[in-house]
Amino acid sequence: MWCHENETRKMLVEKSKDFCRDRATARRKKKAYPVQLRHALTQQFRSADPRIELSRLETLVRKEHLPKPLSAIYSLLRTSYQTTRRDLLQKWIVNIPDLTVEQWSYILANSLTPLIRSRDRLIQFKYLHRAYYTPYILHKMNPAFPDKCNRCNSPNADFFHMVWDCAQIQHFWAEIADYITQLMAMPVEFHPAVLLLNYLQDTTSSRSERTLLTFLLFHAKRAIALKWKDESPPTLSFWIAQVEQTLPVLEQIYYARGCPTKFNKIWTLWILRNETYTNRTVTVPAQPMDWLVAPN
């Protein structure tokens, strides 16, 4: 019995020593983490020490006495939004020098309106705000990542290069512009403000034509986004397939909203030209979709 208790005591003492040793090691590692992190950051970004400053919103909400806080925060956010719009315009002017303030106001007011699905609007929003990761951005985040275009191997492949300046993407846009010109029997200017930013005020005055043109140009940009990492650009047939895939959903929505003639007015030119959609099996809902109808 005495031997058994002695062995148990020795085992507990060893366990206690191991526990203390592990805790001491953990404390040393915990203290070393900030040093290691600081060393990694200084090696990764060899520049001056970063300056951490409070934003205007943080300064506002930290005030001890803030009368009418909701109004103050709302006013600050509106001001910041106007600043963001101006900064964004300056970024586009770097690539499109002839872009005017009036054209930019038209683009912001009309780019998202014809699009129905939230996912489509999000893609259009990302294009306007240049919110895609490009080789140029990834290279700035990690120098080990090459900044070359994965299609033409050009260096400094920023957002505008990936969606417009690349020679292979230019060929894709030329095919899109030619197809739309033949489809709608009107010239479509080969200009980034028109094809990328949907500045259509000088292209057509018809609302239905403008809606159709907005949808077609959107799907061209969506095709580029879907093939973002590919070595080859999207093709004309891929773009047509994307439009054809979306049409049944749009048709159901227009029928559910009780305006099938509006769908036909917008898409008649496309339907007459593309036999695959003309010869489809039509499935018109007998009654409106529940999620589009207000409750009784």
Q: SS3 breakdown of the chain: % helix, strand, coil, rounded to 5?
A: 65, 0, 35
Task: Compare 16 and 254 and report the one with higher pLDDT.
Answer: 254
Q: How far is CA 75 from CA 78, 106, 255, 263, in A?
A: 5, 24, 41, 40
Structural contact between residues 233 and 227, judged by C-beta atoms closer than 8 angstroms: yes
In degrees, rounded to 5, the angle at the alpha carbon of residue 239 between the alpha carbons of residues 237 and 241 is 70
The model's pLDDT over 13-64, given as tens digits with 9 standing for 90+, comes to 566 666 556 665 656 555 556 667 767 766 666 666 667 788 888 888 888 8
pLDDT of residue 153 exceeding 90: yes
pLDDT in tens, 85-135: 788 899 999 999 999 999 999 998 888 888 888 899 999 999 999 999 999
* Per-residue confidence band for 2, with pLDDT thresholds at 50, 70 and 90: very low
Q: What is the pLDDT of residue 9?
A: 58
Place of tokens 């290279």: 139
Q: State the Cα–Cα distance between residues 212 and 271, nearest whole angstrom.
A: 12
* Residue 280: per-residue pLDDT: 55
What's the token pair of residue 64? 């001890």
**Domains in the chain: boundaries:** 89-234
- The token pair at 44 is 């990764």
Q: DSSP labels for 126-168?
A: HHHTT-S--HHHHHHH-TTS--S-TTT--SS--HHIIIIISHH
| pLDDT of 51 | 72
Q: How many angstroms separate the CA atoms of 200 and 205, rounded?
A: 8
pLDDT at 47: 60
pLDDT score of 20: 59
> What tens digit of pLDDT does each residue of 195-243 get?
999 999 888 878 899 999 999 999 999 999 999 999 999 999 999 999 9
Instruction: Give residue 206's pLDDT.
Output: 87
